[in-house]
Amino acid sequence: MTPAATAASPPLPQDRSPPRVALSLGGVGALGEELLAALVASPRYRLVYVALKQAIGSASAKYRPWVPGSTVIVADDAYLCVTDADSFVPKASPVRTFSAEQLVDAARIARDAGVRRLVVVSPLSALLQLNAASHAISSEQELALVDMRFETLVIVHPTRGDSAAASGAWVGRVVHAMARSVMEIMLPSQVQALHPRTAALAILAAVERLPPGVHVIGARELLAAIEQSMPALAPRQPRLR
């Protein structure tokens, strides 16, 4: 397995290859929505197909709504965001979601579309970022993805953000905010949750630096990618006064 540190390697020469086609799977929640927006805004991609539960229209020529199985599409890269219990998904959202147990089903959708590079975004808590779990294939579902032999498989473990507290009672939100502040002070900045937009840009920057093969990267590599390519967006470590 290629070392995760590859994500922080020097920038590659300017890519002169033609723009690619991306497929967005599970683009919900704060991070999923920001990653989808980053894909649509990226000059690397000329089209972005978005997997939906039901067909909708689009005012953008680049944003292509798509119901899996309805038509045949061809894509180069797929970005799969795993939905968990903390992910906020509006009931009216047409976006098709994928849980950790549905990773293989989502990967098959990507493979059927001809995808050669699959990027799986599966957030972990800040505490789990401190151990080997953020840099290793850690489930049967992820092992099954390796066996599917994509040209490039990237499993990204950003630090889980603050999505669950927004809908709770105000007391719960206050307690959660206080606990989070303590965590930000006590834990290293390298494992803190990035702002969703920053995390999305970090994922794209880190993935572009990786050669073919299987890679697992965590919060530290995402932060390194931001510090190298977009230093103004890098977070600062809070300090006790």
Inside any domain, residue 203: yes
What is the structure's pLDDT at 229? 85
What is the structure's pLDDT at 147? 94
Inside any domain, residue 110: yes
Inside any domain, residue 211: yes
Inside any domain, residue 241: no
CATH code at 188?
Answer: 3.40.50.720
What is the structure's pLDDT at 36? 95
What is the structure's pLDDT at 87? 72
Q: What gap in Å lies between CA 186 and CA 181, rounded to an integer?
A: 9
Inside any domain, residue 239: no
Residue 106 C-alpha from the chain's centroid: 14
Q: What angle do CA 73, 116, 222 make, to 5 degrees?
A: 115
What percent helix, strand, coil does the chain show, rounded to 5? 40, 20, 40
What is the structure's pLDDT at 185? 52
Predicted structure pTM score: 0.81
Is 56:148 a contact under the CB 8 Å cutoff?
A: no
Inside any domain, residue 128: yes
Domain hosting 51: range is 4-233
Inside any domain, residue 179: yes
What is the structure's pLDDT at 131? 77
What are the C-alpha distances in Å from 151 to residues 61, 173, 229? 28, 43, 25
Inside any domain, residue 238: no
* Number of domains the chain contains: 1
Q: Please, what are the averages of pLDDT over each run of 10 residues along the chain (241 residues)?
A: 45 65 95 95 96 85 94 97 80 89 96 97 84 77 94 94 50 46 57 87 94 94 88 65 48
User: What does the DSSP 8-state code read for residue 52?
Assistant: B
